[in-house]
Chains A and B, each alone.
Chain A
Amino acid sequence: GENVEQHPSTLSVQEGDSAVIKCTYSDSASNYFPWYKQELGKRPQLIIDIRSNVGEKKDQRIAVTLNKTAKHFSLHITETQPEDSAVYFCAALDTGRRALTFGSGTRLQVQP
């Protein structure tokens, strides 16, 4: 089955700086890669996703890049704000199970 590794586990940046979170996956057949943001005590919220026929996708301050050959994808947040502080999870769609396999999460802290 799919295995997803996520780095770093914690990330602290100054307000206004950029943040990058990286994930690798093992199943070359995976074709859907969402990113979720989870605030303390809240449900995971989808913030952006990318499918395997696309190399990059942007939504305002958030972008995701996908390198299918290397089997890794990254989340980029520019001009970070304190409200970006949360735990971010990457995931890959396990084509065998058709369920998401999640990374272990990155705790992002944006210092004002």
Chain B
Amino acid sequence: GAGVSQSPSNKVTEKGKDVELRCDPISGHTALYWYRQSLGQGLEFLIYFQGNSAPDKSGLPSDRFSAERTGGSVSTLTIQRTQQEDSAVYLCASSLALSRGLETQYFGPGTRLLVL
């Protein structure tokens, strides 16, 4: 079946502008995660959603970052007033659930964000 998809694949924006990044998880996956990967670095957790529960926002680096997940499926990560240090690849992942045996995360191709 279809894997995790993300759009756009690349985004170039000017400092101070807002951007929206989209993630379509695998159908039927109840858990959705956002990570950030700076050039040559590891993956940094940002936020996750599990079903209808309140999201875990503990990884968001500042209040300029927010995310929502509508209808338990598609998610949008919004970065307001972008800064150059926001330049990175933003990766989305989904898993069936958080329960033991269902927690394997599958990643999307990422959105490469460049803030000029």
Does B25 touch A at the CB level, under 8 Å?
no
The 8 sampled A-B contact pairs (Cβ below 8 Å) are: A44-B43, A46-B104, A46-B105, A89-B42, A91-B43, A98-B31, A99-B33, A105-B41
B58 contacts across to A, CB distance below 8 A: 97
B109 pairs with A42, CB closer than 8 A? yes
B44 contacts across to A, CB distance below 8 A: 102
* Whole-angstrom distance between the Cβ of A91 and the nearest chain B Cβ: 8
B105 contacts across to A, CB distance below 8 A: 34, 46, 100
Instruction: Please provide the chain A residues from 33 to 66 with a CB less than 8 Å away from any CB of chain B in the complex.
Output: 34, 36, 42-46, 49, 51
* Whole-angstrom distance between the Cβ of B2 and the nearest chain A Cβ: 14
Closest to B98 in A: A98
Cβ-defined partner of B50 (8 Å) among A32, A49, A98, A102: A98
Interface size class of chain A, counting residues whose CB lies under 8 Å from the partner chain: 20 to 34
A91 contacts across to B, CB distance below 8 A: 43
C-alpha spacing A46/B35, complex, angstroms: 15
Cβ-defined partner of A101 (8 Å) among B45, B100, B101: B45
C-alpha spacing A93/B104, complex, angstroms: 10
Does A78 touch B at the CB level, under 8 Å?
no
B48 pairs with A43, CB closer than 8 A? no
Does B18 touch A at the CB level, under 8 Å?
no
A43 pairs with B56, CB closer than 8 A? no
B101 contacts across to A, CB distance below 8 A: 51
Instruction: Please provide the chain A residues from 79 to 112 with a CB less than 8 Å away from any CB of chain B in the complex.
Output: 89, 91, 93-94, 97-105
* Whole-angstrom distance between the Cβ of A89 and the nearest chain B Cβ: 6
